[in-house]
């Protein structure tokens, strides 16, 4: 059991490229921390630095009260689950799990106890003598987990462990990983680019972008109060609608609030209602319906606003200027081409400074 | 494989049989000649069916040798050839897998320079560097020895390149998993890389064994004693006789015997050999 603390961690590659630009994260004992961000944001690099597979060029990594910067991966008391599982193809499932223990000189009887226990938890008991290529993707994934569990490490590290599985299995394994972690109460750091995985797994969510931490916190708190427009559009699917407050239409509706001159207004698709009324202090927008997506329990309405406006900020998942997504429950949606009016109440408005880096209170 | 119906299929089979006949007939002829009496062959009246001298000829070939040009039993020649071919094949694999490991997995100064140096030796086969190599071997007093026969042929750029290419297809995560599992460089090599290279090593062994077995120029140059000569040299010496009749049955028996070990190696390792050449999944 251990805390993991990163203090101003930096990584600069020999070519001068700065992959990690000073990251501070504190993962408490037994917590499940998820690093999330678009590809190239440095989340995997950061995880590999914790594992000891990448050197640290600045700052400190502390696992259980010990600075591990110069310590070999094997001596850091961590276990890692790789994206492609990295199982030894020529070893049986049993030997894959036992290998790390044997290298540490553990007695064969103790190894057997641990592997059998892990196999029982992961339902691999009947497959211990098989080779990895005789297993399905989900089973290989479980073997990779088993290899981590038998070590009884201080920290589990997961590098996008579910991204090679199909959608259905991914959800099942996601739940399993969470249950397993609760049961073992081992501190875990998990890297993913899937915001849904991040939301559902995390005790602490770390949203990263461009080698920096954008926001750290409880996933729901981040969802409800994103600190920047990047976080706002990255967390939540479909992404939050972001629009400039410069047009008179919006500015006038925000009059009286401290944020009237803000810069960017954000409203989540599910916070809109189709209505002719304007809620007090809220914002209403006229839209022309351009597309409808019915997914069963809910329907997404894609509408465009009359005025063309400038791009708000260059962030992933950003909508074309002037396009708004509205999520409504059920399947009852307005016809394409009709004009509707959507509104959101004051409490559901998110306001950001013009550069999108600061959240303003409405 | 394309399935053809009726006539077309027979045509295909006939062509294949003709091909087999072209390859197999000389071999068959050599075998038949090895069982005939020398006088019959010399008269040009050899039949196409095996004669009655099989045991007699092969006994003489393996344990006694010809009466004239080389007095060495072919059994001994085969042993020499076998030792040389095995030393070359095993030595080449051992040296090149280790150097490929160094080049792929370690960062050291002049790594690429060394790699290119190895690469360049591809352009210097034995024939090109034969005099300096001979001089070195002679100075080291390795003439007429197994070491002299095999050592100069062991360094191999081709095998090093082959292993390098293979190692580069091994996912990096395997190395990283090994590091986390507490395996050092030696353990990773021994526990993971070697078992994964098994089929590659088998394929290479087959090729290199045959290459070693068929060496002619180098053994010719550095062996002078009869008891160190290899079978390929032996055959050649048997044919050149100045004042006596060439003992064709013995020559042919030697040729047949010379074919056997490579064939056995191929047959024994065929499965691994083919897998080593075609395998893509790691």
Count other Cβ atoms within 10 Å, centred on residue B42: 13
pLDDT higher than threshold 50 for residue B18 = yes
Q: Which of A51, A100, A133 sits opposite B181 (nearest CB)?
A: A100
| Residue B243: per-residue pLDDT | 67
At a CB cut-off of 8 Å and minimum separation 6, what does B101 contact? B163, B167, B189, B193
| Least confident span in A20-24, A96-100, A112-116, B240-244 | B240-244
Q: Average pLDDT, stretch A184-199?
A: 93
Encoded tokens for A177: 């990983």
Q: What region does B194 belong to: left with phi over 0, alpha with psi -120 to 50, or beta? A: alpha
- For A306-319, what is each residue's pLDDT tens digit? 654 444 444 444 44
> Do B173 and A133 count as a contact with CB atoms less than 8 A apart?
no
Contact A95/B at CB under 8 A:
no
| Residue in B closest to A48 by C-alpha | B176
Average pLDDT across chain B, whole number: 87
Residue B199's pLDDT is 87
CB contact under 8 A, A73 and B176: yes
Average pLDDT, rounded, for chain A: 88
pLDDT at residue B239 greater than cutoff 70 = yes
Taking the C-alpha atoms of residue A58 and residue A10, their distance in angstroms, rounded to an integer, is: 5
- Would you say residue A92 has pLDDT above 90? yes
**At A178, is the secondary structure helix, strand, or coil?**
helix
Cα dist from A349 to A254, A269, A278, A345, B263, whole Å:
10, 11, 14, 7, 81
Neighbours of A138 (CB within 10 A): 17
How confident is the model at residue A311, as a pLDDT?
45
Q: What HEC string does chain B produce?
A: CCCCCHHHHHHHHHHHHHHHHHHHHHHHHHHHHHCCCHHHHHCCCCCCCCCCCHHHHHHHHHHHCCCCCCCCCHHHHHHHHHHHHHHHHHHHHHHHHHHHHHHHHCCCCCHHHHHHHHHHHHHCCCCCCHHHHHHHHHHCCCCCCHHHHHHHHHCCHHHHHHHHHHHHHCCHHHHHHHHHCCCCHHHHHHHHHHHHCHHHHHHHHHHHHHHHHCCCHHHHHHCCCHHHCCHHHHHHHHHCCCCCCCCHHHHHHHHHHHHHHHHHHHHHHHHHHHHHHHCCCC
Of residues B63 and A271, more confidence is placed in A271
Contact B192 A88 (CB under 8 A): yes
| Cα–Cα distance measured from residue B117 to residue A157, given in angstroms and rounded to the nearest whole number | 41
ipTM above 0.85, yes or no: no
> How many whole angstroms separate alpha carbon B46 and alpha carbon B63?
25
Q: Note whether B277 contacts A: Cβ–Cβ < 8 A.
A: no
H or E segment to which residue A6 belongs: strand A4-12
pLDDT in tens, B63-116: 887 766 666 888 899 999 999 999 999 999 999 999 999 999 998 899 889 888
Size of interface A-B (CB pairs under 8 A): 57
Q: Does B279 touch chain A (CB under 8 A)?
A: no
CA angle A249, A251, A256 (to 5 degrees): 130
More confident call, B63 vs A270: A270
Residue B281 has pLDDT above 60, yes or no: no
Query: Is the CB of residue B170 less than 8 Å away from at least one CB of chain A?
Result: no
User: Could you say which DSSP state residue A136 is in?
Assistant: -
- Flag if B174 and A86 touch (Cβ within 8 Å): yes
B71 or B122, which is more confident: B122
Residue contact A99–B183, C-beta within 8 A: yes
Contact B180 A74 (CB under 8 A): yes
Partner A contacted by B171 (CB < 8 A): yes
**Mean pLDDT on A55-61:** 93
Which residues does chain A have within 8 Å of residue B171's beta carbon, measured at their own beta carbons?
84, 86
Q: Which residues of B touch A88 (CB under 8 A)?
A: 174, 177, 191-192
> For position B153, what pLDDT does the model report?
87
Instruction: pLDDT band for B210, please (50, 70, 90 cuts).
Output: very high
Orientation angle between helical segments B248-278 and B198-213, nearest 10 degrees: 160
pLDDT of amino acid A76: 92
CA distance A100 to B183: 8
- Give the mean model confidence (pLDDT) for residues B5-21: 90
Residue B282: the pLDDT is 43
Report chain A residues whose CB lies below 8 A from the CB of B282: 89
A86 near B CB under 8 A: yes
B174 contacts chain A (CB < 8 A): yes
Q: Under DSSP, is residue A140 helix (H, G, I), strand (E, B) or coil? A: helix
The DSSP code for A247 is S
**pLDDT of res. B248:** 85
Report how far residue A101's alpha carbon sits from residue A99's, in angstroms, rounded to the nearest whole number: 5
Instruction: Note the pLDDT of residue B2.
Output: 56
Looking at chain B, the whole-number percentage of residues with pLDDT higher than 90 is 43
pLDDT of amino acid B242: 67
Say yes or no to pLDDT of A238 above 80: yes
Counts for chain A of helices (H) and strands (E), in that order: 9, 19
User: In a 3-state reduction of DSSP, which class is residue A3?
Assistant: coil
Q: Which residue has the tokens 């006939």?
A: B14
Distance CA B244, CA B247 (A): 9
Distance CA B149, CA B102 (A): 27
Average pLDDT over residues A249-262: 68
Give the pLDDT confidence score for residue A319 in this predicted structure: 47
Residue A353: predicted pLDDT:
84
Residues A97, A102, A104, A106, CA torsion sign: positive
Amino acid B236: pLDDT: 85
Give the whole-angstrom CA distance, residue B32 versus residue B260. 16
Query: Distance from B169 to chain A by nearest Cα, in Å?
Result: 13
A105: DSSP letter: T
**Is residue B261 within 8 Å of B213, Cβ to Cβ?**
yes
Mean pLDDT of all residues in A246-264: 70
Please say whether the beta carbons of B218 and B126 come within 8 A.
yes
Check whether B22 has a pLDDT greater than 70.
Answer: yes
pLDDT at B63: 84
Contacts of B197 (CB under 8 A, 6+ apart): B97, B163, B166
Model-level pTM?
0.82
Residue B177 in contact with partner chain A when CB distance is under 8 A: yes
The model's confidence at residue A100, banded by pLDDT at 50, 70 and 90, is very high
Cis peptide preceding A238, ω within 30 of 0: yes
Question: Which pLDDT value is given to residue A109?
Answer: 95
Query: Does the pLDDT at position B4 exceed 70?
Result: no
Q: Count of CB atoms within 10 A of residue B244's CB? A: 10
Specify the pLDDT at position B95.
93
Q: Does B169 touch chain A (CB under 8 A)?
A: no
Q: How far apart are CA B16 and CA A114, in angstroms?
A: 59
Does residue A357 carry a pLDDT above 90?
no
Give CA–CA dist A209/A227, Å, rounded. 13
């Amino acid at each position: 059991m251990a805390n993991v603390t990163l203090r101003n961690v930096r990584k600069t590659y020999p070519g001068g490229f700065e992959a990690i630009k000073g990251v501070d994260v504190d993962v408490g004992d037994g917590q499940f921390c998820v690093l999330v961000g678009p590809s190239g944001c440095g989340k995997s690099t950061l995880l590999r630095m914790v594992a000891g597979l990448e050197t640290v060029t600045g700052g400190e990594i502390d696992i259980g009260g010990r600075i591990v910067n110069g310590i070999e991966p094997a001596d850091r008391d961590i276990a890692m689950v790789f994206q492609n599982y990295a199982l030894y193809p020529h070893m049986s499932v049993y030997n894959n799990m036992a290998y790390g223990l044997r290298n540490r000189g553990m007695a064969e009887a103790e190894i057997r106890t641990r592997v059998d226990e892990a196999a029982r938890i992961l339902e691999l008991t009947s497959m211990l003598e098989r080779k990895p290529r005789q297993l399905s993707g989900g089973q290989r994934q479980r073997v990779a987990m088993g290899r981590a569990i038998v070590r009884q490490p201080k920290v589990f590290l997961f590098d996008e462990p579910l991204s090679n599985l199909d959608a259905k299995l991914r959800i099942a394994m996601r739940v399993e990983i969470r249950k397993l972690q609760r049961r073992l109460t081992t501190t875990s750091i998990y890297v993913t680019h899937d915001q849904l995985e991040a939301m559902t797994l995390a005790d602490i969510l770390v949203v990263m972008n461009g080698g920096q931490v954008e926001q750290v916190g409880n996933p729901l708190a981040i969802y409800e109060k994103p600190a920047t427009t990047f976080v706002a559009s990255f967390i939540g699917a479909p992404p939050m609608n972001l629009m400039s407050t410069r047009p008179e239409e919006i500015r006038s509706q925000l009059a009286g609030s401290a944020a009237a001159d803000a810069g960017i207004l954000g409203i989540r698709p599910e916070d809109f209602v189709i209505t002719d009324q304007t809620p007090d202090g809220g914002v209403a927008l006229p839209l022309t319906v351009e597309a409808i997506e019915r997914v069963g329990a809910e329907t997404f309405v894609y509408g465009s606003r009359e005025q063309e406006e400038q791009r708000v900020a260059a962030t992933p998942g950003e909508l074309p200027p002037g396009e708004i997504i509205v999520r409504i429950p059920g399947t009852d949606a307005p016809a394409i081409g009709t004009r509707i009016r959507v509104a959101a109440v004051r409490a559901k408005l998110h306001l950001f400074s013009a550069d999108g880096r600061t959240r303003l209170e409405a | 494989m394309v399935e053809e119906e009726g006539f077309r299929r027979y045509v295909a089979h006939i062509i294949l049989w003709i091909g087999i006949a072209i390859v197999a007939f000389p071999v068959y002829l050599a075998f038949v000649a090895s069982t005939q009496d020398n006088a019959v062959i010399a008269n040009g009246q050899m039949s196409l069916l095996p004669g009655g001298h099989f045991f007699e000829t092969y006994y003489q070939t393996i344990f006694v040798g010809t009466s004239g040009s080389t007095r060495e039993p072919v059994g001994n020649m085969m042993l020499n050839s076998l030792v040389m071919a095995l030393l070359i094949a095993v030595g080449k694999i051992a040296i090149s897998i280790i150097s490929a490991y160094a080049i792929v997995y370690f960062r050291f100064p002049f790594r690429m320079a060394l790699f290119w140096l190895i690469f360049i030796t591809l352009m210097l086969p034995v024939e090109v560097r034969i005099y300096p190599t001979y001089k070195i071997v002679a100075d080291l007093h390795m003439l007429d020895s197994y070491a002299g026969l095999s050592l100069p042929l062991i360094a191999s750029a081709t095998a090093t390149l082959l292993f390098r290419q293979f190692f580069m297809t091994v996912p990096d995560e395997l190395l990283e998993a090994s590091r986390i599992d507490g395996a050092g460089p030696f353990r990773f090599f021994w526990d993971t890389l070697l078992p994964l290279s098994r089929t590659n090593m088998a394929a290479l062994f087959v090729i290199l064994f045959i290459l070693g077995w068929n060496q002619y120029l180098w053994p010719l140059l550095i062996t002078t004693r009869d008891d160190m000569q290899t079978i390929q040299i032996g055959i050649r010496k048997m044919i050149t006789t100045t004042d006596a009749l060439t003992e064709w049955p013995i020559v042919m028996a030697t040729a047949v015997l010379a074919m056997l070990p490579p064939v056995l190696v191929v047959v024994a390792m065929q499965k691994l050999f083919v897998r080593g050449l075609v395998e893509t999944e790691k």
